[in-house]
Amino acid sequence: MVYSKYPLDANGNPFKYPTFILDTGEYAKIYNEINTNYSKFEGKEKCVHLSYYGEKAYMYYFENHGFDNYNIYMRKCVDE
């Protein structure tokens, strides 16, 4: 059996980047927003989603392996 140091998608395929750890509330909010707006990301392998969390705006970079099958690998504050 081959093990990957990177997270796997729902089909067992590895993503290319390690997961950026978000707190549970932030993760749920962003994942839900990506699902809601999936038509913008369909067919794209690497995507960026802009959203607010708390008082700050962030860009969330994620790998897309299909609807509800994402790996958020980076978050950048827009104001910095």
pLDDT in tens, 13-24: 999 999 999 999
Cα separation of the two ends of the chain: 43
Q: Report the half-sphere exposure of 4 (CA within 13 A, side-chain side).
A: 12
| pLDDT (0 to 100) of residue 1 | 41
Q: 3-58, pLDDT tens digit by residue? A: 557 899 999 999 999 999 999 999 999 999 999 999 999 999 999 999 999 999 99
